[in-house]
Chain A
């Protein structure tokens, strides 16, 4: 007989819910970049509408965690697994909020012609989305080495962020009449940079889960 089989199943269920919320968020972020690039307002609206599913799922994960703590009195790695689930789901939910923010910026920019074709920004966004994908894989496999790689991946995002911001600020002085659009692009740039930061937070939670030690990747 496997001792605590039911508890084990519930922990697995919680893990699957995290994988699911991560998948939905990944899709939302992909869509948001797509909508921005193609100025597709319908798609942008769709993202805002879909976000509710992600919020509900985060609540469900928190409820599972609360019940497991209350009923199972978890300790050691079980407890860390549950705490990590709470933190990771919260990070992912924030990432999904950034997808919504990007969608809102897309709507604000509207059909107005873009000041220049977006190249670096989507590249940076895809990089950040890839970080979420990597973090999720590291979570599924409880792979500390892979989680640690996220620190380096984040450095690339930070560098690109600096470059794009600089470029947008220059455009601002050159095209003051486009101030509104450029501000929105600045915001989007910031949202993407923050998305990547949350991926490194997830990596830190994974390391805590596996090793029981804190490890700073955002420094």
Chain B
């Protein structure tokens, strides 16, 4: 019995890329003016798994995650080449609307950023923009999203209170609920727990494990233990390049690149 389990573990490490991709990134390059921030990025992001992006400050990980929903284009001096294919469509194709993309690819940020509105209105915001006016339908979406973000029990009796009255950890889960309300396919998370206390952090981590049953998640994190705990695959970025991208167990137990080893063992960065 033990031997079988062992074999499976070994195979998990060896069988690379055995998944259905939600994103294919091909030779992606990005410049901020003269600064070459992403260099020939090429890898696939799996469906319904958690993909962690780690690396030292300034390595391009936040830039990278922001290209996935084309948020990076809001920076005026950005230039890009290469392609990002989301479910068989190149997201840079002019025919592909950015709104449509962002409906599919939601995002949660480093600092919780609820709107200065009630808890209810925060979650209902997206669906309303998409034209849902029926109160009953909205009620259902709000409850489902808040439950999905594991915060329903804490807020169900005060849905009409201002979201600013929630704790930081609750605000972050509210933002996740707001993201779920538009029923995305992919959730991007840019250091979603770096402003939270340890218990709130663990709650969000638990939530991510739940969410991956239904969503594909890409998470940028400075917390390497967090990447090790919650992700299925990890990409190590350094100076705008992907140094190593493999299943998380392998990356944290026996990385193949010396630079990865030095970074995760804390010998630099």
Interface residues of A (CB under 8 A from B): 3-4, 7, 73-80, 212-213
Contacts and interface: CB of A to CB of B under 8 A. Distances in A.
A75 B252 contact: yes
Interface string B113-142: 000000000000000000000000000000
A7 B267 CA distance: 10
B225 A76 contact: no
Interface string B230-269: 0000000000000000000000111100000100111111
A4 B266 contact: yes
B253 A75 contact: yes
B228 interface: yes
Nearest to B255: A76
B267 A75 contact: no
A214 to B, nearest CB: 9
A77 B255 CA distance: 9
13 contacts: A3-B267, A3-B268, A4-B266, A4-B267, A73-B225, A74-B265, A76-B253, A76-B254, A76-B265, A78-B265, A80-B253, A212-B253, A212-B254
Contacts of A80: 253-254
B224 interface: yes
A86 to B, nearest CB: 16
A32 B265 CA distance: 42
A73 B229 CA distance: 12
Contacts of B261: 76-77
A121 to B, nearest CB: 36
B54 to A, nearest CB: 11
Contacts of B228: 75
Contacts of A73: 225
A75 B224 contact: yes
B264 A76 contact: yes
Contacts of A79: 253
Nearest to B228: A75
Contacts of B254: 76, 80, 212-213
Chain B interface size band reads: 10 to 19
Given A76-B253, A76-B264, A80-B253, 14 more contacts: A3-B267, A3-B269, A7-B266, A74-B265, A75-B224, A75-B228, A75-B253, A76-B254, A76-B261, A77-B265, A78-B265, A79-B253, A212-B253, A213-B254
Nearest to A81: B265
B165 to A, nearest CB: 35
B266 A76 contact: no
Contacts of B252: 75-76
Nearest to B264: A75
Contacts of B253: 75-76, 79-80, 212
A3, A4, A76, A77 pick with most chain B CB within 10 angstroms: A76
A11 to B, nearest CB: 11
Nearest to A7: B266
A7 B269 CA distance: 16
Among B265, B268, B269, max chain A CB count under 10 A is at: B265
Contacts of A4: 265-267
A73 to B, nearest CB: 6
A77 B251 CA distance: 11
B6 to A, nearest CB: 9
Most buried by B among A7, A74, A77: A77
Nearest to B224: A75
Contacts of A3: 266-269
Nearest to B251: A76
Interface in B95-125: none
Nearest to A72: B266
Interface in B36-63: none
Interface string B198-236: 000000000000000000000000001100100000000
Nearest to A2: B267
A7 B265 CA distance: 10
A78 B264 CA distance: 10
A74 B261 CA distance: 11
Residue in B224, B267, B268 whose Cβ sees the most chain A Cβ within 10 Å: B267
Q: Which 3 A-B pairs have CB atoms at the shortest separation, nearest pair first?
A: A212-B254, A75-B252, A4-B266
Contacts of B266: 3-4, 7
Nearest to B265: A78
Contacts of A212: 253-254
Nearest to A213: B254
Nearest to B268: A3
Residue of B224, B228, B254, B264 most packed against chain A (CB within 10 A): B254
